[in-house]
Amino acid sequence: MTTTFYDFLSESIARRALLACALFGFANGFMSAFVVLRKSALKMGTLSHGLLPGIALAVLLLGLSSWSALAGAIFAAMFIGLGSIFMSRTSRLDEDTTLAILYTTAFAGGLILLQHVATRQKLDEWLFGSIAGMSDTDLWIAFGTSVIAVLTLTALQRPLLIYLFEPNVAASLGVPVRLLNYTLFGIMILMLVSSLQAVGCILSVGLMVTPGATVYLWSDNPRMIFLGGGIIGCLGAVSAFFLSYPLGWGIGSTIVLVLGALFLIAYIFSPRYGILAHWNRK
């Protein structure tokens, strides 16, 4: 088994998958701090499922490729996410309601479009994830989006923190709150879309939420949540890569399972916010 695994690591496909795990893990983990602090995990989950119609439509119009699927996913996320904001501001409905309506309608349309997609097997890699199937182009896309997201969030960390915790104070200090809100939302969508081929539409929300939530149970320091989320995401994804081969599991599913296990440990054993500490205080 050891020799076979080393042979697997010597292949370029394995090296690409390992590097992708590290990139996706750190960038999504870093981003997850903002998702958790902004309390928008359910919104990200809704958007992750809403990517299906955009991908299906792009495949029908342009054929299946990394760029067409990426463009379709971005279009769907922007349409549903920004559309829900626009509809809530131009009607008496709240944003969650309009988001639910747009998401379910788009998802239903995506299911219908899938009936006309000939390359269903390849499309499943975008729906459920296939890190091992990533090409050099896919890896460069992952690298570019990860660098853009991490650098942008690092540069805007101070005004973002003020905006997240004290939006009224941020507005009084001259922070462009609305622009910052759209910027943060756009980066979230970018990271969500970039993770498609890693874990797919269904599981991508777990990669974006779980690392930050895990560190959030250990620390009250927001900056530690950002860096710690990135480290947890990276270590969890890389560990899942090495576990998936001997177990015969899919890499994407294993990543989410490992991150879920780390979260469960924090939920139970965190000295301040864990369930055991809660019982002891009672």
Is the confidence at residue 236, as pLDDT, over 90? Answer: yes
Quote the tokens at residue 279: 């019982």
User: 94 in helix, strand or coil?
Assistant: coil
Position 174 in a domain: yes
Position 173 in a domain: yes
Structural domain for 93, as ranges: 2-266
Summarize pLDDT for 212-223 with one digit per residue, the tens. 999 999 988 888
Position 245 in a domain: yes
Residue with tokens 């993770």: 195
User: Would you state the torsion angle of the CA atoms of residues 28, 130, 12, 256, taken in this order, to the nearest 10 degrees?
Assistant: 40
Cβ partners under 8 Å of residue 232, min gap 6:
29, 211, 214, 215, 259, 262
Q: Work out how many domains the chain is built from and give that number.
A: 1
Position 83 in a domain: yes
Q: What are the φ/ψ torsions at residue 115 (nearest 5 degrees)?
A: -65, -20
- Model pLDDT, residue 118: 61
Summarize pLDDT for 242-271 with one digit per residue, the tens. 998 888 888 888 898 999 999 999 999 988
Summarize pLDDT for 53-89 with one digit per residue, the tens. 777 777 777 776 667 777 787 788 778 877 887 888 8
Position 12 in a domain: yes
**By the 8 A CB rule, do 40 and 212 touch?**
no
Q: Does pTM surpass 0.75?
A: yes
In angstroms, the CA 1 to CA 247 distance is 11
Position 272 in a domain: no
Position 210 in a domain: yes
CATH number of domain containing 202: 1.10.3470.10
Cβ partners under 8 Å of residue 81, min gap 6:
43, 47, 99, 185, 189
Helix ranges (H only) for the chain are 2-9, 12-37, 41-62, 66-89, 95-114, 120-128, 136-155, 157-165, 167-172, 177-194, 196-216, 222-247, 251-269, 275-281
Position 31 in a domain: yes
